[in-house]
Amino acid sequence: MSEFASFHDVRFPVAVSFGATGGPERRNEIVGLTSGREKRNARFSESRHHYDAGTGVRSLGDLHDVLAFFEARRGSLHAFRFRDPFDMKSCRPDAAPSAHDQILGAGDGAKDRFKLIKRYGTWSDAYLRPILLPVPGTLKVTVDGAVLASADFSFDGKTGEVVFSPAAIPPAGVEVTAGYEFDVPVRFDTERMSLSLTAFKAGQIPSIPLVEVQL
């Protein structure tokens, strides 16, 4: 069974995710040479995000929601959506997404598919992160600065591409941009959930490790 086949299109409890900790991981090989210089090689072409949502559990209700979610996903078997509390929009987290936020490319008059990405950094140093789970209803697209109607494009979740209808294919040389909110595909990085009651109607789960997966 593929990762995508074992993906449940449901979101981890948002109230708990907003209290989570975590972020991206990079793995590099660094070899020291006798000259004192170093050779460095990236083992990951893309970053991989890790989170711990245990710090987001504040009530007995939160505890029950996480328990039910864990059981429904069969522990680490099925992946799901997670709202990263630090990075969940095509813009800065304190701003509202705009259809002009991210440049997806330029049209050639025939190309009808453009990868949905988020750019980190500038120029040749920029990292282009593939966005696979835009939040439904939030994706907006422009062609040559004009915002398209929702009927003019769709999103292919299997390839992570914005797909234009035949009548809306971008002409040659015009810029295509997009704005959106997005979730991260993750799974539980544990086979056991340890719960405790700290007070009346107050619960605690010391650790809820989550790890990003590829779809």
What confidence tens digit (pLDDT) does each residue in 185-207 have?
999 999 999 887 765 566 678 89
Q: In which residue are the tokens 């779809």 written?
A: 215
Does 182 have pLDDT greater than 90? yes
Which pLDDT belongs to residue 54? 92
Please give the average per-residue pLDDT across 7-30, as a whole number: 94
Stated as kind and residue range, the H or E segment containing 164 is strand 161-164
Please give the average per-residue pLDDT across 3-9, as a whole number: 77
Verdict on whether the full-model pTM lies above 0.85: yes
pLDDT band per the 50, 70, 90 thresholds, residue 1: very low
Which pLDDT belongs to residue 202? 62
Residues near 157 by beta carbon (within 8 Å), at least 6 away in sequence? 132, 133, 215
**Averaged pLDDT score across all residues of the chain:** 92
Q: Which domains does the chain have, with CATH numbers?
A: 1-88+183-215 (2.40.30), 90-180 (no CATH)
43, 28 Cβ separation under 8 angstroms: yes
Which pLDDT belongs to residue 203? 64
Does 2 have pLDDT greater than 50? no
Give tens-digit pLDDT for 56-115: 988 888 999 999 999 999 999 999 999 999 999 999 999 999 999 999 999 999 999 999
CA 6 to mean position of chain CA atoms: 17
CB neighbours (10 Å) of residue 54?
A: 19
Does 124 have pLDDT greater than 90? no
Which pLDDT belongs to residue 196? 79
212, 184 Cβ separation under 8 angstroms: yes
Please give the average per-residue pLDDT across 156-170, as a whole number: 96
